[in-house]
Structure 1
Amino acid sequence: MVKKYSVVFFLLFVCTLGAVSAASDIRAVLPFLGETQYAKLEAGEIVNGESVNGEPITPYFVDGSEAFARAQIAQGLEDGFSIAAVSYIPYGPKLLAMNDAERQLAIFNKIRAISTQEGLIYISWRAGNKPKVLIEKSAYMETEKDLNKLLPDPVATTFPLSAQSYVFQRDSSFGGNRYLHTYSNSDKEIFVSIQNISAMKVFGLFTAVPKGNLSINMGTYLLDEGVLLTALTTIEGRDPEVSVLGYKVDLPSAFKRRITALQNWFVAQLATIEME
Protein backbone atom coordinates (compact mmCIF):
# COMPACT_ATOMS: atom_id res chain seq x y z
CA MET A 1 0.00 0.00 0.00
CA VAL A 2 2.84 2.39 0.85
CA LYS A 3 4.49 1.63 -2.48
CA LYS A 4 1.19 2.28 -4.33
CA TYR A 5 0.77 5.69 -2.71
CA SER A 6 4.41 6.50 -3.35
CA VAL A 7 3.90 5.96 -7.08
CA VAL A 8 0.79 8.17 -7.07
CA PHE A 9 2.57 10.97 -5.22
CA PHE A 10 5.56 10.67 -7.56
CA LEU A 11 3.32 11.02 -10.64
CA LEU A 12 1.58 14.02 -9.12
CA PHE A 13 4.97 15.56 -8.33
CA VAL A 14 6.14 15.05 -11.93
CA CYS A 15 2.93 16.59 -13.30
CA THR A 16 3.32 19.54 -10.95
CA LEU A 17 6.91 20.05 -12.06
CA GLY A 18 5.74 20.00 -15.69
CA ALA A 19 3.10 22.64 -14.98
CA VAL A 20 5.61 24.81 -13.10
CA SER A 21 8.12 24.46 -15.94
CA ALA A 22 5.50 25.42 -18.52
CA ALA A 23 4.47 28.47 -16.48
CA SER A 24 8.11 29.53 -16.16
CA ASP A 25 8.60 29.09 -19.92
CA ILE A 26 5.63 31.32 -20.72
CA ARG A 27 6.63 34.06 -18.29
CA ALA A 28 10.23 34.02 -19.48
CA VAL A 29 9.40 34.62 -23.14
CA LEU A 30 6.33 36.85 -22.57
CA PRO A 31 7.43 38.94 -19.57
CA PHE A 32 5.04 41.88 -20.01
CA LEU A 33 1.66 40.20 -19.68
CA GLY A 34 -0.47 40.40 -16.54
CA GLU A 35 -1.21 37.70 -13.97
CA THR A 36 -4.73 37.17 -15.33
CA GLN A 37 -3.31 36.65 -18.82
CA TYR A 38 -0.71 34.15 -17.57
CA ALA A 39 -3.44 32.22 -15.77
CA LYS A 40 -5.51 32.07 -18.96
CA LEU A 41 -2.57 30.86 -21.02
CA GLU A 42 -1.74 28.17 -18.49
CA ALA A 43 -5.41 27.10 -18.60
CA GLY A 44 -5.27 26.74 -22.39
CA GLU A 45 -7.23 29.89 -23.18
CA ILE A 46 -6.52 32.44 -25.91
CA VAL A 47 -5.30 35.86 -24.77
CA ASN A 48 -5.75 38.74 -27.19
CA GLY A 49 -5.61 42.49 -27.60
CA GLU A 50 -6.04 45.13 -30.28
CA SER A 51 -4.43 48.41 -31.26
CA VAL A 52 -7.75 50.21 -31.81
CA ASN A 53 -7.49 52.10 -28.51
CA GLY A 54 -3.72 52.50 -28.60
CA GLU A 55 -3.01 49.34 -26.60
CA PRO A 56 0.49 47.90 -27.28
CA ILE A 57 0.41 44.52 -29.04
CA THR A 58 4.10 43.55 -28.85
CA PRO A 59 3.71 41.95 -25.35
CA TYR A 60 1.87 39.06 -27.03
CA PHE A 61 4.95 38.03 -29.04
CA VAL A 62 8.40 36.67 -28.22
CA ASP A 63 11.04 39.39 -28.44
CA GLY A 64 13.46 38.66 -31.28
CA SER A 65 10.97 36.57 -33.25
CA GLU A 66 9.66 37.42 -36.72
CA ALA A 67 6.19 37.77 -35.20
CA PHE A 68 7.50 40.40 -32.74
CA ALA A 69 9.13 42.37 -35.58
CA ARG A 70 5.86 42.37 -37.54
CA ALA A 71 3.93 43.43 -34.43
CA GLN A 72 6.26 46.42 -33.98
CA ILE A 73 5.51 47.53 -37.53
CA ALA A 74 1.77 46.97 -37.10
CA GLN A 75 1.76 48.86 -33.82
CA GLY A 76 3.06 51.95 -35.59
CA LEU A 77 0.39 51.84 -38.31
CA GLU A 78 -1.51 55.14 -38.41
CA ASP A 79 -4.24 54.26 -40.92
CA GLY A 80 -5.77 50.97 -39.82
CA PHE A 81 -5.72 48.61 -36.85
CA SER A 82 -4.25 45.32 -35.63
CA ILE A 83 -5.39 42.38 -33.52
CA ALA A 84 -2.96 40.18 -31.58
CA ALA A 85 -3.56 36.79 -29.98
CA VAL A 86 -1.51 34.11 -28.25
CA SER A 87 -2.22 30.69 -26.77
CA TYR A 88 -0.11 27.92 -25.24
CA ILE A 89 -0.39 24.26 -26.22
CA PRO A 90 1.47 21.62 -24.17
CA TYR A 91 3.21 18.90 -26.14
CA GLY A 92 1.66 15.46 -26.24
CA PRO A 93 3.89 12.41 -25.65
CA LYS A 94 4.99 12.11 -29.29
CA LEU A 95 5.93 15.78 -29.70
CA LEU A 96 7.64 15.77 -26.31
CA ALA A 97 9.80 12.84 -27.40
CA MET A 98 10.95 14.66 -30.55
CA ASN A 99 13.90 17.03 -30.84
CA ASP A 100 13.29 20.59 -32.10
CA ALA A 101 14.09 19.75 -35.74
CA GLU A 102 11.60 16.88 -35.75
CA ARG A 103 8.95 19.00 -34.05
CA GLN A 104 9.36 21.83 -36.54
CA LEU A 105 8.89 19.53 -39.53
CA ALA A 106 5.85 17.82 -37.99
CA ILE A 107 4.23 21.14 -37.03
CA PHE A 108 5.06 22.74 -40.41
CA ASN A 109 3.27 19.99 -42.31
CA LYS A 110 0.22 20.26 -40.06
CA ILE A 111 0.01 24.04 -40.53
CA ARG A 112 0.20 23.60 -44.30
CA ALA A 113 -2.60 21.03 -44.37
CA ILE A 114 -5.12 23.74 -45.18
CA SER A 115 -7.62 21.41 -46.84
CA THR A 116 -8.47 20.28 -43.29
CA GLN A 117 -9.89 23.77 -42.64
CA GLU A 118 -12.92 22.93 -44.78
CA GLY A 119 -15.96 22.80 -42.52
CA LEU A 120 -14.23 24.86 -39.83
CA ILE A 121 -16.78 26.22 -37.35
CA TYR A 122 -16.79 29.64 -35.71
CA ILE A 123 -19.21 31.64 -33.57
CA SER A 124 -21.12 33.85 -36.01
CA TRP A 125 -22.52 37.18 -34.87
CA ARG A 126 -24.86 37.29 -37.86
CA ALA A 127 -26.18 33.85 -36.91
CA GLY A 128 -27.03 35.10 -33.43
CA ASN A 129 -23.71 34.16 -31.81
CA LYS A 130 -24.23 30.54 -32.75
CA PRO A 131 -21.82 28.07 -34.39
CA LYS A 132 -21.67 28.30 -38.16
CA VAL A 133 -19.39 26.93 -40.88
CA LEU A 134 -16.71 29.53 -41.59
CA ILE A 135 -14.58 27.95 -44.32
CA GLU A 136 -16.43 26.11 -47.08
CA LYS A 137 -13.52 25.47 -49.45
CA SER A 138 -9.76 25.54 -48.88
CA ALA A 139 -7.08 24.47 -51.36
CA TYR A 140 -3.73 25.39 -52.86
CA MET A 141 -3.57 26.94 -56.32
CA GLU A 142 -1.02 26.15 -59.00
CA THR A 143 -0.89 29.79 -60.08
CA GLU A 144 -2.00 33.11 -58.66
CA LYS A 145 -5.30 33.25 -60.60
CA ASP A 146 -6.21 29.86 -62.06
CA LEU A 147 -8.97 28.33 -59.93
CA ASN A 148 -9.24 25.36 -62.29
CA LYS A 149 -5.94 23.94 -61.05
CA LEU A 150 -6.29 23.34 -57.33
CA LEU A 151 -3.62 21.23 -55.64
CA PRO A 152 -3.50 18.82 -52.69
CA ASP A 153 -1.75 19.82 -49.47
CA PRO A 154 2.04 19.63 -49.87
CA VAL A 155 4.08 17.47 -47.52
CA ALA A 156 7.67 18.48 -46.77
CA THR A 157 10.34 15.87 -46.03
CA THR A 158 12.84 18.46 -44.78
CA PHE A 159 12.05 21.60 -42.79
CA PRO A 160 12.42 24.70 -45.02
CA LEU A 161 13.44 28.15 -43.83
CA SER A 162 11.16 29.72 -46.45
CA ALA A 163 8.22 28.70 -48.63
CA GLN A 164 5.52 30.43 -50.67
CA SER A 165 2.14 29.26 -51.96
CA TYR A 166 -1.10 30.56 -53.45
CA VAL A 167 -4.30 29.57 -51.66
CA PHE A 168 -7.99 29.79 -52.45
CA GLN A 169 -10.56 29.89 -49.67
CA ARG A 170 -14.29 30.41 -49.78
CA ASP A 171 -15.87 31.44 -46.50
CA SER A 172 -19.34 32.28 -45.28
CA SER A 173 -18.51 35.93 -44.53
CA PHE A 174 -16.46 37.20 -47.47
CA GLY A 175 -17.06 34.60 -50.21
CA GLY A 176 -14.22 33.27 -52.36
CA ASN A 177 -10.80 34.90 -51.98
CA ARG A 178 -7.23 34.29 -53.09
CA TYR A 179 -4.26 34.57 -50.72
CA LEU A 180 -0.48 34.47 -50.81
CA HIS A 181 1.11 32.43 -48.00
CA THR A 182 4.75 33.30 -47.28
CA TYR A 183 6.71 31.36 -44.64
CA SER A 184 9.73 32.72 -42.75
CA ASN A 185 11.02 30.00 -40.43
CA SER A 186 13.82 29.38 -37.94
CA ASP A 187 14.87 26.55 -35.64
CA LYS A 188 12.31 27.75 -33.04
CA GLU A 189 9.71 29.66 -35.04
CA ILE A 190 7.32 28.95 -37.89
CA PHE A 191 5.85 32.18 -39.24
CA VAL A 192 3.39 32.50 -42.10
CA SER A 193 2.23 35.81 -43.54
CA ILE A 194 -1.11 35.59 -45.34
CA GLN A 195 -1.90 38.46 -47.74
CA ASN A 196 -5.19 38.83 -49.60
CA ILE A 197 -4.51 39.09 -53.35
CA SER A 198 -8.19 39.67 -54.13
CA ALA A 199 -10.66 42.12 -52.58
CA MET A 200 -12.73 40.74 -49.71
CA LYS A 201 -16.38 41.57 -50.23
CA VAL A 202 -19.53 41.56 -48.14
CA PHE A 203 -22.56 39.95 -49.82
CA GLY A 204 -20.28 39.35 -52.81
CA LEU A 205 -20.71 42.97 -53.91
CA PHE A 206 -19.28 45.53 -51.50
CA THR A 207 -15.58 45.69 -50.69
CA ALA A 208 -14.85 45.36 -46.97
CA VAL A 209 -11.07 44.91 -47.36
CA PRO A 210 -9.34 45.97 -50.60
CA LYS A 211 -6.80 43.75 -52.33
CA GLY A 212 -3.49 43.66 -50.43
CA ASN A 213 -4.84 45.48 -47.35
CA LEU A 214 -5.28 42.43 -45.12
CA SER A 215 -2.33 40.74 -43.44
CA ILE A 216 -2.99 37.69 -41.29
CA ASN A 217 0.15 36.38 -39.61
CA MET A 218 0.17 33.04 -37.81
CA GLY A 219 3.17 31.75 -35.93
CA THR A 220 4.41 29.03 -33.61
CA TYR A 221 7.30 29.27 -31.18
CA LEU A 222 8.81 26.23 -29.48
CA LEU A 223 9.21 26.18 -25.70
CA ASP A 224 10.52 23.34 -23.54
CA GLU A 225 7.14 21.88 -22.57
CA GLY A 226 4.86 23.18 -25.30
CA VAL A 227 4.39 25.57 -28.19
CA LEU A 228 3.13 29.15 -28.33
CA LEU A 229 0.64 29.85 -31.10
CA THR A 230 0.44 33.51 -32.10
CA ALA A 231 -1.72 35.47 -34.51
CA LEU A 232 -1.44 39.03 -35.78
CA THR A 233 -4.10 40.47 -38.07
CA THR A 234 -3.60 43.91 -39.60
CA ILE A 235 -6.05 45.80 -41.79
CA GLU A 236 -4.81 48.96 -43.46
CA GLY A 237 -6.85 51.89 -44.73
CA ARG A 238 -10.02 50.88 -42.92
CA ASP A 239 -11.87 52.02 -39.81
CA PRO A 240 -12.67 49.22 -37.35
CA GLU A 241 -16.34 49.40 -38.36
CA VAL A 242 -17.68 49.48 -41.90
CA SER A 243 -21.30 49.98 -42.93
CA VAL A 244 -22.90 48.35 -45.97
CA LEU A 245 -26.53 49.16 -46.78
CA GLY A 246 -27.15 49.93 -43.12
CA TYR A 247 -25.52 46.69 -42.03
CA LYS A 248 -22.54 47.29 -39.73
CA VAL A 249 -19.51 45.01 -39.82
CA ASP A 250 -17.26 45.18 -36.75
CA LEU A 251 -13.97 44.08 -38.34
CA PRO A 252 -11.98 43.53 -35.10
CA SER A 253 -14.75 41.31 -33.74
CA ALA A 254 -15.07 39.44 -37.03
CA PHE A 255 -11.36 38.68 -37.24
CA LYS A 256 -11.05 37.79 -33.54
CA ARG A 257 -13.66 35.11 -34.17
CA ARG A 258 -11.66 33.91 -37.16
CA ILE A 259 -8.45 33.80 -35.12
CA THR A 260 -10.20 31.78 -32.42
CA ALA A 261 -11.47 29.32 -35.03
CA LEU A 262 -8.02 29.00 -36.61
CA GLN A 263 -6.30 28.47 -33.27
CA ASN A 264 -8.83 25.78 -32.36
CA TRP A 265 -8.12 24.17 -35.74
CA PHE A 266 -4.39 24.20 -35.01
CA VAL A 267 -4.88 22.56 -31.60
CA ALA A 268 -6.83 19.81 -33.36
CA GLN A 269 -4.05 19.50 -35.96
CA LEU A 270 -1.42 19.00 -33.25
CA ALA A 271 -3.61 16.34 -31.67
CA THR A 272 -3.49 14.34 -34.91
CA ILE A 273 0.30 14.03 -34.54
CA GLU A 274 -0.29 12.09 -31.33
CA MET A 275 -2.64 9.71 -33.13
CA GLU A 276 -0.39 8.93 -36.11
Structure 2
Amino acid sequence: MRTGIFSAAALAAALLLFTASALSADPLASRVPADRASALVRGEEFRRSSAGREADLAWAPSHPLAARVQSDLRSEEPDVVVEALYLWKKPRSASPEAELLAVYNVLRAVGTLQGIEYWSASRRTMRLFYEESWRVVSPEDQTRVPDQRLTSLPPSETFTVWQKDLSFGGNLYRLDYRTSPDGVLLESVNLTRMYYKFVPVAAPGALKVRVLALNTDEGILFWAVSSARAAVVPGVRGKLEDSFGNRAEAVFRWFASSAADTWKML
Protein backbone atom coordinates (compact mmCIF):
# COMPACT_ATOMS: atom_id res chain seq x y z
CA MET A 1 0.00 0.00 0.00
CA ARG A 2 2.78 2.37 0.90
CA THR A 3 4.55 1.44 -2.32
CA GLY A 4 1.43 2.33 -4.27
CA ILE A 5 1.11 5.67 -2.53
CA PHE A 6 4.80 6.43 -3.10
CA SER A 7 4.56 5.46 -6.76
CA ALA A 8 1.51 7.65 -7.28
CA ALA A 9 3.21 10.57 -5.56
CA ALA A 10 6.38 10.07 -7.57
CA LEU A 11 4.38 9.91 -10.79
CA ALA A 12 2.51 13.09 -9.90
CA ALA A 13 5.77 14.87 -9.13
CA ALA A 14 7.30 13.70 -12.39
CA LEU A 15 4.27 14.88 -14.36
CA LEU A 16 4.41 18.25 -12.60
CA LEU A 17 8.10 18.60 -13.41
CA PHE A 18 7.52 17.63 -17.04
CA THR A 19 4.64 20.10 -17.37
CA ALA A 20 6.68 22.93 -15.87
CA SER A 21 9.56 22.13 -18.22
CA ALA A 22 7.26 22.01 -21.25
CA LEU A 23 5.81 25.41 -20.38
CA SER A 24 9.15 27.20 -20.12
CA ALA A 25 11.94 28.06 -22.54
CA ASP A 26 15.64 27.38 -22.06
CA PRO A 27 17.61 29.90 -19.96
CA LEU A 28 19.43 32.70 -21.76
CA ALA A 29 22.76 31.49 -20.36
CA SER A 30 22.36 28.30 -22.40
CA ARG A 31 22.61 30.41 -25.57
CA VAL A 32 25.25 33.01 -24.69
CA PRO A 33 28.01 33.16 -22.03
CA ALA A 34 26.80 33.99 -18.51
CA ASP A 35 28.43 37.44 -18.41
CA ARG A 36 26.87 38.39 -21.74
CA ALA A 37 23.50 37.05 -20.61
CA SER A 38 23.68 39.20 -17.47
CA ALA A 39 24.56 42.27 -19.54
CA LEU A 40 21.64 41.67 -21.89
CA VAL A 41 19.23 41.27 -18.98
CA ARG A 42 20.49 44.62 -17.64
CA GLY A 43 19.49 46.18 -20.95
CA GLU A 44 22.89 46.40 -22.59
CA GLU A 45 23.16 46.00 -26.36
CA PHE A 46 26.07 44.70 -28.42
CA ARG A 47 27.20 45.93 -31.83
CA ARG A 48 30.41 45.51 -33.79
CA SER A 49 31.64 45.77 -37.38
CA SER A 50 34.52 44.15 -39.21
CA ALA A 51 35.84 44.36 -42.75
CA GLY A 52 38.18 42.72 -45.22
CA ARG A 53 40.06 39.66 -44.02
CA GLU A 54 39.01 40.46 -40.45
CA ALA A 55 35.29 40.20 -41.28
CA ASP A 56 33.88 37.63 -38.88
CA LEU A 57 31.35 36.94 -36.12
CA ALA A 58 31.93 37.20 -32.38
CA TRP A 59 28.52 36.98 -30.69
CA ALA A 60 26.86 33.99 -32.32
CA PRO A 61 24.46 32.24 -29.91
CA SER A 62 24.94 28.57 -29.16
CA HIS A 63 22.26 27.14 -31.45
CA PRO A 64 22.09 25.06 -34.66
CA LEU A 65 20.52 27.93 -36.62
CA ALA A 66 23.36 30.23 -35.55
CA ALA A 67 25.88 27.57 -36.58
CA ARG A 68 24.25 27.56 -40.01
CA VAL A 69 24.73 31.32 -40.30
CA GLN A 70 28.39 31.01 -39.31
CA SER A 71 29.00 28.26 -41.87
CA ASP A 72 27.27 30.17 -44.67
CA LEU A 73 29.15 33.36 -43.86
CA ARG A 74 32.52 31.61 -43.99
CA SER A 75 31.76 30.29 -47.47
CA GLU A 76 30.52 33.69 -48.67
CA GLU A 77 33.69 35.56 -47.61
CA PRO A 78 32.04 39.00 -47.29
CA ASP A 79 33.95 42.29 -47.31
CA VAL A 80 31.84 43.86 -44.55
CA VAL A 81 30.07 42.30 -41.55
CA VAL A 82 28.02 44.13 -38.92
CA GLU A 83 26.71 42.14 -35.97
CA ALA A 84 24.26 43.17 -33.24
CA LEU A 85 22.80 41.38 -30.23
CA TYR A 86 19.73 42.40 -28.22
CA LEU A 87 17.28 40.95 -25.72
CA TRP A 88 13.56 41.69 -25.76
CA LYS A 89 12.03 40.94 -22.37
CA LYS A 90 8.65 39.25 -22.57
CA PRO A 91 5.95 41.03 -20.54
CA ARG A 92 4.57 37.64 -19.52
CA SER A 93 4.99 33.99 -20.40
CA ALA A 94 2.77 31.78 -22.54
CA SER A 95 3.42 28.34 -23.97
CA PRO A 96 6.72 28.15 -25.91
CA GLU A 97 4.76 27.11 -29.01
CA ALA A 98 2.47 30.14 -28.82
CA GLU A 99 5.40 32.45 -28.16
CA LEU A 100 7.41 31.19 -31.12
CA LEU A 101 4.42 31.47 -33.47
CA ALA A 102 3.97 35.06 -32.28
CA VAL A 103 7.64 35.78 -33.03
CA TYR A 104 7.29 34.23 -36.48
CA ASN A 105 4.22 36.27 -37.35
CA VAL A 106 5.96 39.48 -36.25
CA LEU A 107 8.99 38.78 -38.46
CA ARG A 108 6.70 37.76 -41.32
CA ALA A 109 4.69 41.01 -41.30
CA VAL A 110 7.03 42.91 -43.64
CA GLY A 111 4.36 45.48 -44.47
CA THR A 112 4.61 46.87 -40.93
CA LEU A 113 8.24 47.86 -41.59
CA GLN A 114 7.01 50.69 -43.79
CA GLY A 115 7.40 54.01 -42.02
CA ILE A 116 9.80 52.91 -39.28
CA GLU A 117 12.57 55.32 -38.34
CA TYR A 118 16.16 55.09 -37.15
CA TRP A 119 18.44 57.36 -35.16
CA SER A 120 20.97 59.19 -37.33
CA ALA A 121 24.05 59.87 -35.20
CA SER A 122 25.51 62.23 -37.82
CA ARG A 123 22.33 64.32 -38.03
CA ARG A 124 21.35 63.75 -34.39
CA THR A 125 17.74 63.17 -35.33
CA MET A 126 15.32 60.39 -36.25
CA ARG A 127 15.07 59.68 -39.97
CA LEU A 128 12.69 57.62 -42.06
CA PHE A 129 14.16 54.19 -42.72
CA TYR A 130 11.76 52.22 -44.91
CA GLU A 131 9.70 54.45 -47.14
CA GLU A 132 8.05 51.41 -48.72
CA SER A 133 7.88 47.75 -47.69
CA TRP A 134 5.55 45.01 -48.84
CA ARG A 135 5.41 41.47 -50.13
CA VAL A 136 5.01 40.83 -53.88
CA VAL A 137 3.94 37.75 -55.84
CA SER A 138 7.38 37.13 -57.37
CA PRO A 139 10.36 38.98 -58.88
CA GLU A 140 8.54 38.87 -62.23
CA ASP A 141 5.09 39.74 -60.90
CA GLN A 142 5.33 42.65 -58.47
CA THR A 143 1.66 42.64 -57.55
CA ARG A 144 1.38 43.60 -53.89
CA VAL A 145 0.47 40.82 -51.42
CA PRO A 146 -0.96 41.76 -47.99
CA ASP A 147 0.54 40.46 -44.75
CA GLN A 148 -1.19 37.40 -43.30
CA ARG A 149 -0.96 35.83 -39.86
CA LEU A 150 -0.32 32.09 -39.75
CA THR A 151 -2.03 29.78 -37.27
CA SER A 152 0.73 27.17 -37.23
CA LEU A 153 4.50 27.32 -37.53
CA PRO A 154 5.91 26.15 -40.89
CA PRO A 155 9.34 24.48 -41.07
CA SER A 156 10.37 26.94 -43.79
CA GLU A 157 8.97 29.58 -46.10
CA THR A 158 10.23 31.82 -48.92
CA PHE A 159 8.76 34.90 -50.56
CA THR A 160 9.74 38.13 -52.34
CA VAL A 161 9.46 41.66 -50.96
CA TRP A 162 9.86 45.17 -52.31
CA GLN A 163 11.55 47.66 -50.02
CA LYS A 164 12.65 51.24 -50.53
CA ASP A 165 14.99 52.79 -47.96
CA LEU A 166 16.97 56.02 -47.71
CA SER A 167 20.35 54.34 -48.18
CA PHE A 168 19.87 52.07 -51.18
CA GLY A 169 16.62 53.16 -52.83
CA GLY A 170 14.07 50.61 -54.03
CA ASN A 171 15.04 46.96 -54.39
CA LEU A 172 13.61 43.46 -54.50
CA TYR A 173 14.66 40.97 -51.83
CA ARG A 174 14.13 37.26 -51.25
CA LEU A 175 13.20 36.36 -47.69
CA ASP A 176 13.88 32.84 -46.44
CA TYR A 177 12.46 31.70 -43.11
CA ARG A 178 13.53 28.61 -41.18
CA THR A 179 12.26 27.46 -37.81
CA SER A 180 13.28 25.17 -34.98
CA PRO A 181 11.43 24.27 -31.76
CA ASP A 182 12.77 27.44 -30.12
CA GLY A 183 13.91 29.76 -32.89
CA VAL A 184 13.20 31.59 -36.14
CA LEU A 185 15.89 32.44 -38.67
CA LEU A 186 15.13 35.08 -41.30
CA GLU A 187 17.56 35.53 -44.19
CA SER A 188 17.17 38.42 -46.64
CA VAL A 189 19.17 38.69 -49.88
CA ASN A 190 18.99 41.39 -52.55
CA LEU A 191 17.70 40.33 -55.97
CA THR A 192 18.53 43.61 -57.70
CA ARG A 193 21.75 45.60 -58.03
CA MET A 194 22.05 48.10 -55.19
CA TYR A 195 23.28 51.67 -55.38
CA TYR A 196 24.32 54.28 -52.85
CA LYS A 197 23.72 57.73 -54.33
CA PHE A 198 24.12 56.37 -57.88
CA VAL A 199 27.28 54.47 -56.92
CA PRO A 200 26.89 50.68 -57.41
CA VAL A 201 27.80 48.94 -54.14
CA ALA A 202 26.34 45.43 -54.32
CA ALA A 203 25.54 43.06 -57.16
CA PRO A 204 22.43 40.88 -56.95
CA GLY A 205 22.88 38.37 -54.14
CA ALA A 206 25.79 40.26 -52.56
CA LEU A 207 24.00 41.82 -49.60
CA LYS A 208 22.51 39.61 -46.90
CA VAL A 209 20.75 40.39 -43.66
CA ARG A 210 20.10 37.59 -41.20
CA VAL A 211 17.99 37.79 -38.06
CA LEU A 212 17.86 34.95 -35.55
CA ALA A 213 15.21 35.21 -32.83
CA LEU A 214 15.59 32.62 -30.05
CA ASN A 215 13.02 32.05 -27.34
CA THR A 216 14.63 31.96 -23.89
CA ASP A 217 13.25 32.07 -20.37
CA GLU A 218 14.38 35.68 -19.91
CA GLY A 219 13.11 36.92 -23.28
CA ILE A 220 13.67 36.80 -27.03
CA LEU A 221 17.36 36.82 -27.94
CA PHE A 222 17.67 38.86 -31.15
CA TRP A 223 20.86 38.38 -33.17
CA ALA A 224 21.22 40.41 -36.39
CA VAL A 225 24.01 39.92 -38.92
CA SER A 226 24.40 42.10 -42.03
CA SER A 227 27.06 41.24 -44.60
CA ALA A 228 28.04 42.20 -48.12
CA ARG A 229 30.50 41.59 -50.87
CA ALA A 230 30.55 45.22 -51.83
CA ALA A 231 32.43 47.56 -54.13
CA VAL A 232 35.26 49.23 -52.23
CA VAL A 233 34.80 52.92 -52.93
CA PRO A 234 36.41 55.56 -50.65
CA GLY A 235 33.81 56.75 -48.17
CA VAL A 236 31.22 54.17 -49.18
CA ARG A 237 32.32 51.33 -46.91
CA GLY A 238 31.83 53.48 -43.81
CA LYS A 239 28.38 54.48 -45.03
CA LEU A 240 27.60 50.82 -45.67
CA GLU A 241 28.62 49.84 -42.14
CA ASP A 242 26.59 52.71 -40.67
CA SER A 243 23.58 51.68 -42.74
CA PHE A 244 23.92 48.07 -41.57
CA GLY A 245 24.07 49.17 -37.95
CA ASN A 246 21.08 51.45 -38.38
CA ARG A 247 19.20 48.63 -40.09
CA ALA A 248 19.81 46.23 -37.21
CA GLU A 249 18.75 48.69 -34.53
CA ALA A 250 15.68 49.90 -36.43
CA VAL A 251 14.53 46.35 -37.14
CA PHE A 252 14.99 45.37 -33.50
CA ARG A 253 12.97 48.40 -32.30
CA TRP A 254 10.26 47.47 -34.80
CA PHE A 255 10.32 43.87 -33.59
CA ALA A 256 10.13 44.90 -29.93
CA SER A 257 7.17 47.23 -30.55
CA SER A 258 5.29 44.68 -32.68
CA ALA A 259 6.02 41.85 -30.25
CA ALA A 260 4.72 43.91 -27.32
CA ASP A 261 1.41 44.37 -29.14
CA THR A 262 1.26 40.71 -30.16
CA TRP A 263 1.97 39.45 -26.63
CA LYS A 264 -1.22 41.11 -25.40
CA MET A 265 -3.17 38.53 -27.40
CA LEU A 266 -1.38 35.48 -25.97
Q: Distance in 2 between matches of 1:122 and 1:177?
A: 19
User: Displacement, 1:131?
Assistant: 0.9
Residue 43 of structure 1 and its aligned partner are, at CA, apart by 2.5
* Matched pairs, number: 241
Cα distance 1:55–1:173, how it changes in 2: closer, same or farther (>3 A)? closer
Aligned to 1:51: 50
Q: What secondary structure does 1:165 align onto?
A: strand
Answer whether contact 1:121 1:134 (CA < 8 A) is retained.
yes
1:71/1:247 CA distance change after superposition, 3 Å: closer
Q: How many percent identity over aligned positions?
A: 23
Tell me: CA distance 1:153–1:182, structure 2 relative to 1, closer, same or farther (3 Å): same
Partner of 1:11: none
TM-score, normalised relative to structure 2? 0.81
Give yes or no for contact 1:71–1:232 (8 Å, CA) kept in 2.
Answer: no
Q: Confirm whether residue 29 of structure 1 aligns to residue 26 of structure 2.
A: no
TM superposition outliers: structure 1 runs of 4+ over 6 Å: none
1:39 Cα deviation from its structure 2 partner: 4.8
Mind listing any 5+ residue stretches in structure 1 that lack a counterpart? 1-21
- SS at the partner of 2:138? coil
3-state SS in 2 of match to 1:178: strand
- Tell me by how many angstroms 1:63 deviates: 2.3
Q: CA deviation at 1:55?
A: 6.9
Match among 150, 155, 165 for residue 161 of structure 1: 155
* 2:174 matched residue in structure 1: 180
Residue 264 of structure 2 aligns with an amino acid whose one-letter code is M
Q: In structure 1, how many angstroms separate the alpha carbons of the residues matched to 2:188 and 2:201?
A: 17
Unaligned runs of 5+ in 2: 1-24
Name the CA distance, whole Å, in 1 between partners of 2:226 and 2:236.
23
TM-score by length of 1: 0.78
How do 1:101-180 and structure 2 match up within 5 A?
101-124=97-120, 128-147=123-142, 149-180=143-174
Instruction: Give the 3-state SS of the residue equivalent to 2:254 in structure 1.
Output: helix
- Paired residue type of 1:218: V
- Cα distance in 1 for partners of 2:44, 2:154 equals 30
How do residues 1-276 of structure 1 correspond to structure 2 at under 5 angstroms? Answer: 25-31=27-33, 35=35, 37-52=36-51, 54=54, 56-57=56-57, 59-75=58-74, 78-93=77-92, 96=93, 98-124=94-120, 128-147=123-142, 149-203=143-197, 205-239=198-232, 242-243=233-234, 249-276=238-265
Partners of 1:208 and 1:182 lie apart in 2 by: 23
